[in-house]
Amino acid sequence: MNVPNAKNVPFRRFIPNFVTIFALCAGLTAVREGFTGNFGNALGLLMLAAILDGLDGKLARMLNSASQFGAELDTLADFFNFGIAPTIVLYLMFFAGTEFANLGWLALIIFTISCMMRLARFNVALLEDDDSPKDSRFFVGVPAPALACLGFLPAFLFMAGWNGIANYPVLIAIYIIGAGALAVSRIPTISVKHITIEPRYQFWLFLGVVLCLLILTVFPWHMLALVDLLYLATLPISWAKSRKT
């Protein structure tokens, strides 16, 4: 049966949406892995979801297939992958079955709400110029994928062999609340896509990235924890640079 006024749509318009759905499947499977105690698999799947989140937008621009439907789909997937799934995995790792379960759950609720508010503010910023950053080199607050990675810092350290971190659930809860606060704050955070590299540094940057990728394949949790710490170190730097412009 033909639909009146229906138009043929190029297949390329669906590709970014397929990537977004795949990212959501990765996040859902991460939750399942968390419930079965396979926290390494859960964290790996959520890191894959973060990579796919960056890929779907680029594909949409490359294929000239950006749409409002895709943007809404991406936001919903982001909220689950970076707001809900990390909450469940972190709760199972550090708080479930302990005397600090309620405290941990409260901290993680704040974390999830912060992610939701960050995504809502981002969507509003796309429509209203007054909420967009004055300097396009920076985001306003920590983006949702970076928020999830920051929230996982205790998990990365635990998986890297620092098992003793599980003995400090109160500090973990405070840290998680702090990460959520960074997401809803007005602190400028660096936007990688606007960073330019001088020709004399390009080879060394390429070499450094290749080295980091090699280390990531052998010591993934150590590398991811280091990336989180380096990202946190950039916050005062980006704040200082934004103040000068």
In this prediction, residue 4 carries a pLDDT of: 56
Q: What is the residue range of 16's domain?
A: 11-244
CATH number at residue 135: 1.20.120.1760
Query: Is 211 inside any structural domain?
Result: yes
Going by the DSSP 8-state scheme, the letter that residue 64 receives in this structure is: T
**Coil/strand/helix, residue 161:** coil
Mean pLDDT, the chain, rounded, equals 85
| Position 38 in a domain | yes
More confident residue, 67 or 216: 216
Does residue 201 fall inside a structural domain? yes
- What are the pLDDT digits (tens) for 108-123? 999 999 999 998 887 7
Q: CA–CA separation, 176 vs 236, rounded Å?
A: 19
> Is 5 domain-assigned?
no
pLDDT of res. 14? 76
Residue 4 in any domain: the answer is no
Instruction: Enter the DSSP assignment of 2.
Output: P
Tell me which of 238 and 150 has the higher pLDDT.
150
> Looking at residue 29, what is its pLDDT?
97
Q: What integer is the mean pLDDT of 84-107?
A: 95
147 and 117 Cβ atoms separated by less than 8 Å: no
Say how many domains are in the chain.
1
User: For the segment 139-162, what is each residue's pLDDT rounded down to a tens digit?
Assistant: 777 898 999 999 999 999 999 999
Domain-located, residue 51: yes
Q: Where are the alpha helices (DSSP H) in the chain?
A: 15-35, 39-62, 68-79, 85-90, 101-127, 144-151, 153-159, 169-184, 199-218, 220-244
The whole model's pTM is what?
A: 0.86
Distance CA 113, CA 120 (A): 10
> Closest by alpha carbon to 149, among 111, 191, 122?
111
**pLDDT, tens only, 67-85:** 788 788 888 999 999 999 9
Q: Look at the block and give the residue holding tokens 């290749």.
A: 210
Domain-located, residue 204: yes
- In this structure, is residue 138 part of a structural domain? yes
